A and B are shown apart, each in its own frame.
Chain A
Amino acid sequence: MKALAARRHDRRAPVVLLLLALLLTGGLYAVLAPTSAKAESSVASADDVKAGEKLFQANCATCHGPSAAGTASAPSLIGVGAAAVDFQVGTGRMPMQMNGPQAQVKPAQFDDEQISQLAAFVASLGAGPAIPTDDQVDPSKGDPATGMALFRTNCAMCHNAVGAGGALSRGKFAPNLWETSPRHLYEAMLTGPQSMPVFNDANITSEEKRDIIAFIDEQGNVSPGGLDLGSIGPVSEGLWAWVVGLGLLIGAAVWIGAKSS
């Protein structure tokens, strides 16, 4: 079991590679990685936890406290689980650097191994949601139509109909989801980062989460009607109608008018 888990961790290539691999090898991939989520959380090595603790003390303890029990400036991490850490650190939100309405996304500060060590450490503090398996987040196995229906009722009010992003109160916002990796999508639902609600498995089952991932995966790839103008709806269409449409037409009118005199 140990060897298997270690191999899995090693194979956890950068996000982009993963996506590419998914696209290229499709079904083959599923056969190679049939591990379940349960296996994951229970088998972090003691070394990983140790290394993770070191990293934590150096980078996170100032805010989250030396025992990760939280301080006045940051919440406790006991029980948030490996998924929360993998998401927060993997998307570059943590360690937080700038004060603002919400933790900003920036280039990830740690490599994959360090992230998994940090995750192992936080997971060792208390039971919490684990990092999903590749199978759980494989868009090719989800049904985008069910995903669309679920997304519309659970997510679109914040993230826009196709996940292009939207505004929340006081400068907070729900980000665009098109560049988010399937794993981070899953983890975001599972852990509910910052102002986003948590969608645990009782709410949206693991398969349904994969359907949602399949739906998001479809976005931003094909745009049957031409340029998508940001997919933010009628406001950008109106803007373009004035700028391009009326702009060109008035230009032509001035040209025709000028021709006479």
Chain B
Amino acid sequence: MTTTSTPTPTARAAAATADYLDQRTGIGVAVKTFARKIFPDHWSFLLGEIALYSFVTLLISGVFLTMFFVPSMAETTYHGPWASLNGVEMSQAFSSTLRLSFEVRGGLLMRQVHHWAALIFMASIVTHMMRVFFTGAFRKPRELNWVVGFTLMILGLLAGFSGYSLPDDVLSGNGLRITDGVVKAIPIIGSYMSYFIFGGEFPGNDLIPRLFTVHILLVPALILALIGLHLLFVVLHKHTQYPGSGRSDKNVVGFPLFPIYVAKAGGYFFVVFGVIALMAATMTINPVWNYGPYDPSPVSAGAQPDWYMLFLEGSLRLMPGQAEVMLGQYTLSLNVIIPAMIVPGVLFTLLAAYPFIEAFATGDNREHHVLDRPRNRPFRTAFGVSLLVAFFILVLAGSNDLIATHFHLSINDITWVFRFLLFLGPWAAFVITKRICLGLQRKDRELVLHGHETGRIVRFASGEYIEVHKPLDAHERWLRVQHDAVRPVEIEPAEDSRGVRRKGYRTDRLRQRISQVFYEDRVEPVTPSELEAAHHAHGGHDEIGSHDHGHEPAQVGGGQHLVEPDGETGPDARNH
């Protein structure tokens, strides 16, 4: 480890310390293997890091806030620099938030750092999740890590919600009031649950201290532990990589973790922290002094939750109130149960279970380390886009009053439009996205078979005109032909050769049906024989039909492509 020719005193001290540690913990081996770990390089792989770093920022600023925040609902009278609250009765939680904002040095900046970091944390989690989803990074062996990630997202929501409710201002109280309503809407046990959570009738005196424990202890500890597990999985599985020449399911092309990736990632921490600090220093967030202390009677216009909860608000706003039904003397509040539990339940279950549903439909249990280009999985891409569209429409519906005032529209019309859009939007998004994906795949086929158009027209002696096409180079071609041809699964017949009903046939039937939904419409990648044929056809300008709808090319089974890039472009050339 120590081979420097003329070590400075500091270097010697460092080496000695390292040596001391190594002899007692054997950490040297771990550090070495870890430092040599290869990480592929792409901007979208930094999205998870934004989440990580904004979480670190949250921890740092949160520790500062806990030093001054008083998690108590005891009444007190405010006396301080904010004139329009002077002499007003409020909880200690609220008055300590005001003190943090106006009297503690740097307190307002820290509050704003903490809140902006929370918004960015959730935003980066969602974009990171989108990256993982659309590239198929959740496929075997990473399904479990997807579930870990999904749990992290839910915990993030919980952290955001519990934090939002702590200052005890009107907005946070409104949010809690809605929560109370939702809990009470649960059949039979609802009202007991509400009393249990709030320690009596809403708002009670216990909630803020309870939320405080949840917010600063329980949820962060869980998030921290799961982030550890999440990153451990990333290291164990190795990171995925985008397709390209020289990249396969058996290698990782990129830079060693140390020093390049560490420098980049470490530098990126400061970028993330810097952007959050910049926002916190210049843009107000959650000005609780405007909202005033919580009191159950007032609700102000523009009362909305933070953006990541807005879809729930939208779901509630869209639901027609008539859905409440009476069963004898009991009320079944479907008008709350459907929007506040069933809608998010469906969205989240689909998300959490997607990797398993897709694996079932694909009948695929190979390991995947090369990512998909989204166009090559039209169903998945279209499905993801339609979930996003549904989410986005709910978010807009949660902002319907602001849309009404800013665009001078009628809030009633907007609400009706969104009610229909919630069903039509995702469907239209699905159809359109799938079309676009198939179109892009066809374009890829065209390119591979015919090459780039050059715009150069040549006239033959016979009088025939052709446009000269420039063939793709090996890298370009590989990118477009490397993916598997995924087809609907074939199943064995219901009865075996002796006419006995086969066990597991029903599951297989189901698998086949789902698989057909997933993969019926498709464009096959170019096979070597097709490429051969295209090369033989002069100049490659002829139309060669693309194979939609079950047209089977000669080659059977996905995953074999013979058009490997040649040696000059092999892994070694790029792996420096």
> Which chain A positions have C-beta within 8 A of B398?
235
Known interface pairs A170-B410, A235-B304; A225-B112 also in contact (CB < 8 Å): yes
Known interface pairs A161-B292, A245-B123; A226-B300 also in contact (CB < 8 Å): no
Which of A69-77, A148-156, A181-189, A197-205 faces chain B? A148-156
Contact B171 A233 (CB under 8 A): yes
Residue from A144, A168, A232, A254 within 8 A of B43 (CB atoms): A254
Known interface pairs A224-B102, A228-B287, A245-B123; A171-B408 also in contact (CB < 8 Å): yes
Tell me the A123-160 residues at the B interface (CB within 8 Å).
144-145, 147-149, 152-153, 156-160
Contact B281 A256 (CB under 8 A): no
Measured CB to CB, the nearest residue on chain A to B46 is A253
Measured CB to CB, the nearest residue on chain A to B85 is A145
Bound-state CA distance A79–B268 (Å) is: 69
Which of A36-44, A48-56, A236-244 faces chain B? A236-244
> Which chain B positions have C-beta within 8 A of A235?
302, 304, 307, 310, 398-399, 402
B120, CB-defined interface residue at 8 Å: yes
> A218-261 toward B: CB 8 Å interface, digit per residue (1/0)?
11000111111101111111111110111011101110111111
A162, CB-defined interface residue at 8 Å: yes
Bound-state CA distance A238–B170 (Å) is: 19
Bound-state CA distance A253–B42 (Å) is: 8
A4, CB-defined interface residue at 8 Å: no
Known interface pairs A238-B119, A241-B123; A218-B84 also in contact (CB < 8 Å): yes
A167, CB-defined interface residue at 8 Å: yes
B233, CB-defined interface residue at 8 Å: no
Chain B nearest CB, measured from A217 CB (Å) = 10
Contact B292 A223 (CB under 8 A): no
> Which chain A positions have C-beta within 8 A of B474?
none
Tell me the B506-543 residues at the A interface (CB within 8 Å).
none
Bound-state CA distance A229–B283 (Å) is: 7
Bound-state CA distance A165–B400 (Å) is: 14
Chain B nearest CB, measured from A142 CB (Å) = 10
B276, CB-defined interface residue at 8 Å: yes
Chain A nearest CB, measured from B317 CB (Å) = 12
A25, CB-defined interface residue at 8 Å: no
- The residue in A161, A234, A244 that gathers the most chain B C-beta atoms within 10 A of its C-beta is A234
A164, CB-defined interface residue at 8 Å: yes
> Which chain A positions have C-beta within 8 A of B284?
223-229
Can you report 23 A-B residue pairs in the complex whose CB atoms are below 8 A from each other? Answer: A145-B86, A152-B295, A156-B299, A160-B302, A161-B300, A162-B290, A169-B411, A171-B411, A173-B405, A225-B112, A233-B171, A234-B306, A235-B302, A235-B310, A235-B402, A236-B402, A239-B307, A245-B276, A249-B275, A250-B43, A250-B47, A256-B264, A260-B255
Q: Residues of A at under 8 Å CB distance from B?
A: 101, 144-145, 147-149, 152-153, 156-162, 164-171, 173-174, 215, 218-219, 223-229, 231-242, 244-246, 248-250, 252-254, 256-261
Q: Residues of B at under 8 Å CB distance from A?
A: 41-44, 46-47, 50, 83-88, 101-102, 108, 112, 115-116, 119-120, 123-124, 127, 170-171, 255, 260, 264, 267-268, 271-272, 275-276, 279, 281-287, 289-292, 295, 297-308, 310, 398-402, 404-405, 408-413
